[in-house]
Chain A
């Protein structure tokens, strides 16, 4: 336990010292919020069901944080630690592999939370964004979605041979998901073919779930979204514990 606490604390410091992780999880979504705010202004728009674009932007950008954190810091840290022999050095100590993984989960989850809180704070203070949901419900959706995406990150890091290939795979998944999952644009306005692709993207379900919960939907309205994410989480846990390797 002491090992886990120390490792998590250390990893948190390393996360914040790594400019890329800190920027993409904490600052980048905030930048998007301000860009959206500047573009759309404060007027309600019919394509957002009479809401302002900004009201749906916050849960969408929270979904983006989840996608980014799972596919960038989680994947890259684990792949780098293995390729550089950092895991090898850890393996000479009695520390268990689950401690190494758990520390990553804790730190990346805490950082995503921080990113989410910054976003909500900025949204509320600057744009007076409306929140009609249940905070606990949203938090539950956030936890489920985050863990599912960490699973994807661990699976990539565990099964791809090098840092480079993990990076390429992470980006290849992240970019289309950011644009086609509905995090940036409402998918309903896009062509049917694109909507079909979008249905195969895990982030789509995160966006739907979080937007719904944010607007006050009950979980019962999002059984499909939640089911997909729970399934992904189970696959993620099974595959990433099986695929975990101390060295390349």
Chain B
């Protein structure tokens, strides 16, 4: 099966709030698909409609070829789900949670290696209530991997995790994909979406405002690139005018910043370095700044806080 998730005209309304408004997209087999968007954009609502936990008001949803409303049990057998909000009984221990939840699946994976992979081995006998936020999150990811799922839903994958855990989980998610499985995640970290996801959908006010690979999204924004460097004693007028030929140039004392639009062919940075080398200029502290997915995100969704 090529299309693991197919969504057509999905709509979900809560009273006067249109949480998801005519959303259509597809997720392909073996990709890491990310959904980003401001608070309240409708990410959780969308993902939970796909999981069969919420009933859509309109539209068709197919996950692994199944209708989540009608074939929920079969779907839950083959998918793993990590929810943004859920809990376990306070006094349930880590190993007991994995052991009990394994018994709900026909062919669960062995949970002991998962414990190690998620760095929870030391916490094996710890009760749920005594885990830190990040440890709980990792336990829920482990639970989501128990059914050896074809598709994993991860809502707010690394919220509340430290950088070590975040990188470990990125590796884990890449491992899942390497096994041919598909991952559908939501996140608030643009760096995470950019580094991890094959394709990213940006959701705002319940609608998809952009959907593409991270490089295409960034390129599509047409954001400018900057190259900054320092020349002892400041740039000579000749150098300044030569740099202006490449892009808009600003000089502040010894610091020089060249702005340019990426045109896809030559890179601004190699043009600048080429010129500096040709003119035998000694420079230091050279930095380049490129647009990131965060720029795309803020460009599309604005900078206002959401309620």
A interface with B by C-beta (< 8 Å): 2-3, 5-7, 10, 13-14, 17-18, 81, 84-86, 88-89, 91-96
B96, A89: Cβ atoms under 8 Å?
Answer: no
B71-108 to A contact mask, C-beta < 8 Å, 1/0: 00110110001010111110110001001110111100
B96, A13: Cβ atoms under 8 Å?
Answer: yes
Q: Is B51 an interface residue (CB 8 A)?
A: yes
Complex contacts, A94 vs chain B, CB 8 Å: 73-74, 76-77, 104-106
Q: How many A-B residue pairs have CB under 8 A?
A: 60
B83, A81: Cβ atoms under 8 Å?
Answer: no
Interface size on B, residues (CB 8 A): 27
Could you jot down 5 A-B contacts, CB within 8 Å? A17-B91, A92-B81, A92-B144, A94-B104, A95-B104
Closest-by-CB residue of A relative to B144 is: A92
CB distance from A245 to the nearest CB of B (A): 13
B interface with A by C-beta (< 8 Å): 51, 53, 73-74, 76-77, 81, 83, 85-89, 91-92, 96, 99-101, 103-106, 140, 143-144, 147
A7 to B76, CA, bound (A): 18
B105, A92: Cβ atoms under 8 Å?
Answer: no
Complex contacts, A6 vs chain B, CB 8 Å: 99-100, 103
A10 to B92, CA, bound (A): 8
Give the 10 A-B CB pairs with smallest separation, nearest first: A6-B103, A89-B86, A92-B81, A93-B104, A85-B86, A17-B91, A95-B104, A84-B87, A94-B76, A3-B103
Q: Interface on chain A toward B: helix, strand, loop, or mixed SS?
A: helix
Given contacts A92-B83, A93-B105, A93-B147, 20 further A-B contacts (CB under 8 A): A3-B103, A3-B104, A7-B100, A14-B92, A81-B89, A84-B87, A85-B83, A85-B85, A85-B87, A86-B86, A86-B87, A88-B85, A89-B83, A89-B88, A89-B140, A92-B86, A93-B76, A94-B73, A94-B74, A94-B105
B76, A92: Cβ atoms under 8 Å?
Answer: yes
Closest-by-CB residue of A relative to B84 is: A85
A14 to B73, CA, bound (A): 27
Closest-by-CB residue of B relative to A92 is: B81
